[in-house]
C-alpha cells in the first residue's frame, strides 16, 4: 500500500485541519480524506482552501472549505458547527495553522509578536476548546497539535519557539483533562519542506542532494494519531521528519534535589559547583543535532 493509498482507517469520520491551504496542512488534509474522513479545510486564504477542498472532491472524497483566522474565537466555534452540520459528526482536529518569522530578541516588533501569539497559541486554544466541548460530550475524539523542536531553543526563533513550546504544554494539560472522557491529545514536532524551511539557510540543500522531506511523507503519522489505532498514545510530543520518528521527553525535575533549611549565596554556589553541576542542561536544539541520531531506516 502506498503513501497515497492509505488504509481507510478514518472511514465515515469528520476532521478539521487548520492552515490546510499548503504545506503540511494540505498534505494532512489530502491523506486524511484518502483515509476515508470528511475534511473541513481551513485557511486564511479562501482560494487555497477552495483549491484543496476541490482536489479532495475530485478524487471522490468529501470536503468543505472554510476561510478565516483561527485566532477568531467565534470563527473557531463556527468551524466546529459547520463540520457537524456538513458531515454529521466530528472526530478529529489538527491544529496546524501558524505564523513564523526570524528575529533576534532585540529586533522584535510588538505588533508582529502579538500576531504570532494570536495565531500560534490563541488560535489552537480557540479551536481546541471548541472541539473538546464536542469530543467530551460524545466520549471520543482526537486532537493533534503541530508544535516544533524550535521550542528547545534555536537562534533567531525565540518568539516562534515560545509559541510552539506553549503548544507542547497545552498538549500535556489537555491530554490529562480529556483522557477520562475517551479523548486523546498529542503533538507532532515535524520537519518537512515548507515555506518556512525553504527560507532557512540551515535546511537548504544543493540541487539533487538529499534534504528535507516533502510534507506528504509526514502525513501518515497524523492519520495514525487521529485513528483508533493510536488509542494507547496520549499526551506525547513526537519528532518526525518522514523517516526518523522519536518521542521527545517531557520536561521533568532532575533527580539531584538539594535541600537546606535556609539558602544563601555561598550555599547556592556550593550546590551549583557540586551536585547540580552535572544536572545543568544542554542549551538549544543545535547542540543536540537537527534530529536525534538516525536509526537504520525501516521499510
Q: How many residues are given for the chain? A: 299
Q: How many H-runs (helices) and E-runs (strands) does the chain carry? A: 9, 8
Q: Which of 130, 46, 52 is nearest to 84 (CA)?
A: 130
Contact 150, 157 (CB under 8 A): yes
What is the C-alpha separation between 228 and 183, in angstroms, rounded? 11
**How many angstroms separate the Cα of 174 from the Cα of each of 39, 142, 180, 197?**
23, 11, 11, 29
Contact 191, 291 (CB under 8 A): yes
Return the ∠ at Cα 251 (arms to 124 and 218), rounded to 5°.
50
Contacts of 297 (CB under 8 A, 6+ apart): 243
Burial code (b: 16+ CB inside 10 Å, e: under 16) for 263-281 equals: eeeeeeeebeeeeeeeeee
Contact 157, 200 (CB under 8 A): no
Domains of the chain and any CATH numbers: 14-248 (3.40.50.720), 255-290 (no CATH)
Predicted confidence at residue 27, as pLDDT, reads 96
Annotated catalytic residues are: 160
What is the C-alpha separation between 276 and 296, in angstroms, rounded? 36
Cell reading at 62? 468529501
Q: How many other CB atoms are found less than 10 A from the CB of residue 64? A: 21
- Residue 202 phi, psi dihedral angles, 5° rounding: -65, -20
Q: Which of 120, 107, 97 is nearest to 44 (CA)?
A: 97
pTM of the shown model: 0.88
Helix (H) or strand (E) holding 41: strand 38-43
What is the C-alpha separation between 96 and 259, in angstroms, rounded? 43
Predicted confidence at residue 294, as pLDDT, reads 42
Q: Which of 230, 248, 281, 76 is nearest to 172 (CA)?
A: 248
Cell reading at 48? 487555497
What is the C-alpha separation between 259 and 154, in angstroms, rounded? 33
The neighbouring-strand residues paired with 63 are 39
Predicted confidence at residue 280, as pLDDT, reads 86
Averages of pLDDT over each 10 residues, the chain, 299 residues: 66 97 97 98 98 97 98 98 98 97 93 97 98 98 95 90 96 98 97 59 43 87 97 95 90 87 95 91 72 41
Amino acid at each position: 500500500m502506498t503513501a497515497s493509498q492509505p488504509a481507510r482507517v478514518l472511514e465515515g469520520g469528520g476532521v478539521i485541519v487548520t492552515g490546510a491551504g499548503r504545506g503540511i496542512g494540505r498534505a494532512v488534509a489530502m491523506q486524511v480524506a484518502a483515509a476515508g474522513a470528511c475534511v473541513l479545510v481551513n485557511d486564511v486564504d479562501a482560494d487555497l482552501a477552495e483549491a484543496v477542498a476541490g482536489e479532495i472532491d475530485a478524487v471522490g472524497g468529501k470536503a468543505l472549505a472554510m476561510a478565516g483566522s483561527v485566532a477568531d474565537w467565534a470563527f473557531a466555534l463556527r468551524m466546529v458547527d459547520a463540520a457537524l452540520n456538513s458531515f454529521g459528526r466530528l472526530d478529529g482536529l489538527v491544529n496546524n495553522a501558524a505564523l513564523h518569522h526570524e528575529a533576534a530578541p532585540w529586533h522584535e516588533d510588538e505588533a508582529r509578536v502579538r500576531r504570532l501569539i494570536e495565531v500560534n497559541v490563541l488560535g489552537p486554544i480557540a479551536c481546541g476548546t471548541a472541539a473538546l466541548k464536542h469530543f467530551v460530550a460524545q466520549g471520543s475524539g482526537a486532537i493533534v497539535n503541530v508544535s516544533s523542536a524550535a521550542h528547545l531553543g534555536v537562534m533567531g526563533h525565540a518568539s516562534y519557539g515560545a509559541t510552539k513550546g506553549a503548544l507542547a504544554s497545552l498538549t500535556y494539560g489537555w491530554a490529562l483533562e480529556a483522557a477520562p472522557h475517551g479523548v486523546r491529545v498529542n503533538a507532532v514536532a515535524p520537519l518537512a519542506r515548507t515555506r518556512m524551511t525553504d527560507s532557512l539557510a540551515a535546511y537548504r540543500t544543493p540541487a539533487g542532494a538529499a534534504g528535507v522531506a516533502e510534507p506528504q511523507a509526514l502525513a501518515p503519522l497524523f492519520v495514525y494519531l487521529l485513528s483508533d489505532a493510536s488509542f494507547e498514545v496520549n499526551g506525547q510530543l513526537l519528532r518526525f521528519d518522514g523517516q526518523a520518528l522519536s518521542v521527545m521527553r517531557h520536561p521533568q525535575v532532575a533527580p539531584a534535589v538539594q535541600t537546606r533549611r535556609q539558602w544563601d549565596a555561598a550555599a547556592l554556589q556550593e550546590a551549583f559547583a557540586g551536585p547540580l553541576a552535572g544536572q545543568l542542561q544542554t542549551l538549544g536544539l543545535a547542540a543536540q543535532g537537527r534530529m536525534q541520531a538516525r536509526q537504520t531506516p525501516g521499510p
